[in-house]
């Protein structure tokens, strides 16, 4: 509703002009959009096994989910606005890995990798990382969507399987050598018997 006073040329109030527009449709669209955003926010915030957050085009954290807090140890207020390179090891930062990850995401449409990362308390962990560039309809880079999963336990299990496999191969080699030595000893014994 818009109400305007209607004045005469001498400044006397003659009445009011009232314009009413039906905005029910726009209100319904706005409400549906708001509800959709809320559902999406609840979905992202409800995920605890994955760190899901956004970066601006320079790599600064712009939002943070509860999974990110659980995995990385930072509360949103402690990390939003800071550069995501804080999660990298000092060695990887010195090699320029954070910048390369963003460049790869832009160039190839995605960056994907597994590497050591650092929690707020300094503890290192193995992370599976995906970075996707986000563009608007005109193709302008708005930032990046970043998803990280702690794969430390999976990596330890894989390393243990590799060690067990290597031990088994070593045991099989030793068994083969033992059989060979046993065969040679048996043949040698037969020769000695003849002599």
Count the Cβ atoms, other than its own, within 10 Å of residue 33: 10
Q: Which of 6-15, 26-35, 50-59, 111-120 has the lowest mean pLDDT?
A: 26-35
Contacts of 129 (CB under 8 A, 6+ apart): 101, 111, 112, 113, 114, 115, 117, 146, 147, 148
Lowest-confidence pick of 55-64, 109-118, 168-177: 168-177
Residues 127 and 149: beta-carbon distance below 8 Å: yes
The yes-or-no verdict on residue 120 having pLDDT over 90 is yes
Q: Which residues have C-beta within 8 Å of that of residue 157, sequence separation ≥ 6?
A: none
Q: pLDDT at residue 77 above 70?
A: yes
Mean pLDDT of the region 108-120: 94
Q: What average pLDDT does this structure show over 122-150?
A: 93
DSSP sequence for 71-85: HH---HHHHTTSBGG
Nearest Cα to 86, choosing from 53, 47, 39? 53
Across the range 10-30, mean pLDDT stands at 87
Mean pLDDT of 53-64: 93
Bridge partners of residue 111, in order along the sequence: 131
Q: What is the pLDDT of residue 42?
A: 60
Query: Which pLDDT does position 59 carry in this prediction?
Result: 95
Between 106-110, 163-167, 191-195, the lowest mean confidence (pLDDT) is in 191-195
Contact residues for 5 (Cβ-Cβ < 8 A; gap 6+):
13, 15, 16, 17
Q: Is 90 exceeded by the pLDDT of residue 32?
A: no
Confidence band of 44 (pLDDT split at 50, 70, 90): low
Rounded CA-CA distance 79/160 in Å is: 34
Beta strands in the chain (DSSP E): 2-7, 13-19, 50-55, 61-64, 111-118, 124-135, 141-150
Q: What is the pTM of this model?
A: 0.62
% of the chain at pLDDT higher than 70: 92
């Amino acid at each position: 509703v818009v109400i305007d006073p209607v004045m005469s040329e001498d400044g006397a109030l003659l009445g009011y002009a009232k314009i009413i527009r039906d905005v029910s449709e726009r209100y319904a669209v706005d409400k549906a959009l708001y509800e959709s955003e809320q559902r999406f926010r609840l979905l992202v915030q409800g995920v605890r096994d994955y760190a899901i957050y956004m970066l601006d085009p320079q790599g600064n954290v712009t939002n943070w989910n509860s999974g990110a807090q659980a995995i990385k140890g930072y509360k949103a207020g402690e990390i939003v606005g800071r550069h995501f390179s804080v999660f990298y090891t000092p060695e990887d930062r010195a090699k320029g890995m954070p910048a390369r990850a963003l460049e790869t995401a832009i160039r190839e449409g995605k960056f994907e990798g597994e590497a050591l990362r650092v929690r707020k308390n300094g503890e290192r962990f193995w992370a599976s990382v995906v970075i996707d560039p986000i563009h608007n309809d005109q193709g302008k880079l708005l930032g990046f969507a970043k998803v990280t999963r702690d794969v430390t336990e999976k990596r330890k299990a894989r390393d243990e399987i590799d060690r067990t496999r290597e031990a088994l191969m070593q045991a099989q080699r030793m068994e083969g050598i033992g059989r060979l030595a046993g065969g040679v000893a048996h043949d040698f014994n037969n020769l000695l018997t003849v002599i």
